[in-house]
């Protein structure tokens, strides 16, 4: 699936003076600004070293006051991003993405009471209940879906987690349905990932996933390299398609990683693609 800014000092001062109303507003802005700064960073190791401090800062906003869906959603996204990208230890990745999902659950529950028991619902009831989420809650649902994906990927050795793949797909599809033309391109990428976690013999939907990856690529104007890497791993490699593998390798490694809001993911994508593509002759 992934920032030293002045607002940090502002928020710290507000915390000391106890201006809770302004802290809440500053924290919401902080989460958004922080995400943007991280995504435009071209040094992944700097992000790896710095993100934990900001994750703890978001946790501090929530300490004893977990009633702000926006902050919960920001914290969920930070935990999911760090757990998915920078946690090399599988046990740690599971723990971090579990926290991400818990925060996402709380954010949705505060916004839509009927979502509070989503985890206990069978698939059909879950999808029916999901229809109550409106376009006003699209951003929260997107964050919820991202945390859900991060959780399943980190727990891919757990059949109970894999059994929730249909629900996770339904979340992202509903996000696309309610967002219309304002939908984020990455939602298609996430749907493609969910559909390729399993091989075709175990329920993978590589043919449908390819359409989502291609849509994500087209929506970003080809600037986002991560859907191409996911297609490389989830389709070209899974289906042993050497022609597609070589085409994607050439596209990814020949592109510049620098793009507004995509630089970090592109640098990470190129690094991963370089390792995969250099081993193509052995793989095929």
Which CATH architecture best describes the domain 1-179? Alpha Horseshoe (1.25)
- Percentage of residues in the chain with pLDDT exceeding 70? 88
pLDDT digits over 49-92, tens only? 988 988 998 899 898 777 899 889 989 998 999 999 999 999 99
Confidence of residue 8 (pLDDT cuts 50, 70, 90): very low
Q: How many CA atoms lie within 13 A of 146 on its CB side?
A: 28
> Is 16 exposed, middle or buried, given 0-12, 13-18 or 19+ CB atoms closer than 10 A?
exposed
Domain with CATH 1.25.40.920 in the chain: 1-179, 184-284
Query: By the 8 A CB rule, do 174 and 129 touch?
Result: no
Confidence of residue 5 (pLDDT cuts 50, 70, 90): very low
pLDDT at 15 over 90: no
Query: By the 8 A CB rule, do 32 and 74 touch?
Result: yes
Which CATH architecture best describes the domain 184-284? Alpha Horseshoe (1.25)
Mean pLDDT value of segment 213-227: 96
Q: What is the mean pLDDT of the chain?
A: 88
Measured between its terminal Cα atoms, the distance across the chain in Å is: 25
Lowest-pLDDT choice from 2-6, 101-105, 191-195, 226-230: 2-6
Mean pLDDT value of segment 223-233: 97
Predicted pLDDT of residue 28: 56
Confidence of residue 29 (pLDDT cuts 50, 70, 90): low
Mean pLDDT value of segment 190-197: 97
pLDDT digits over 117-147, tens only? 999 999 999 999 999 999 999 999 999 999 9
Cα–Cα distance between 164 and 127 in angstroms, integer? Answer: 12
pLDDT at 26 over 70: no
């Amino acid at each position: 699936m992934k920032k030293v800014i002045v607002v940090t000092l502002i928020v710290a001062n507000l915390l000391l003076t106890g201006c809770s109303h302004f802290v809440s507003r500053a924290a919401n802005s902080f989460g958004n600004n922080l995400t943007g700064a991280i995504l435009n960073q071209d040094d992944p190791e700097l992000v790896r070293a710095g993100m934990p401090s900001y994750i703890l800062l978001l946790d501090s906003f929530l300490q004893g006051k977990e009633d702000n869906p926006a902050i919960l959603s920001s914290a969920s996204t930070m935990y999911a991003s760090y757990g998915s990208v920078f946690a090399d230890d599988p046990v740690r990745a599971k723990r971090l993405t579990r926290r991400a999902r818990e925060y996402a659950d709380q954010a949705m529950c505060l916004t839509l009471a009927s979502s509070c028991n989503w985890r206990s619902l069978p698939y059909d009831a879950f999808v029916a209940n999901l229809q109550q989420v409106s376009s006003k809650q699209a951003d929260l649902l997107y964050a919820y879906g991202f945390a859900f994906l991060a959780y399943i990927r980190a727990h891919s050795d757990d059949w109970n987690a894999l059994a929730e793949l249909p629900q996770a797909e339904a979340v992202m599809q509903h996000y696309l349905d309610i967002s219309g033309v304002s939908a984020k391109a990455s939602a298609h990428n996430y749907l493609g990932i969910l559909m390729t976690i399993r091989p075709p013999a175990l329920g993978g939907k590589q043919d449908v996933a390819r359409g989502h990856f291609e849509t994500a690529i087209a929506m970003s104007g080809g600037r986002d390299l991560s859907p191409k890497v996911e297609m490389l791993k989830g389709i070209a490699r899974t289906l042993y398609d050497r022609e597609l593998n070589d085409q994607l390798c050439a596209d990814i490694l020949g592109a510049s990683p620098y793009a507004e809001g995509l630089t970090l993911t592109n640098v990470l994508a190129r690094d991963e693609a370089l390792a995969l593509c250099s081993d193509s002759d052995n793989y095929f």
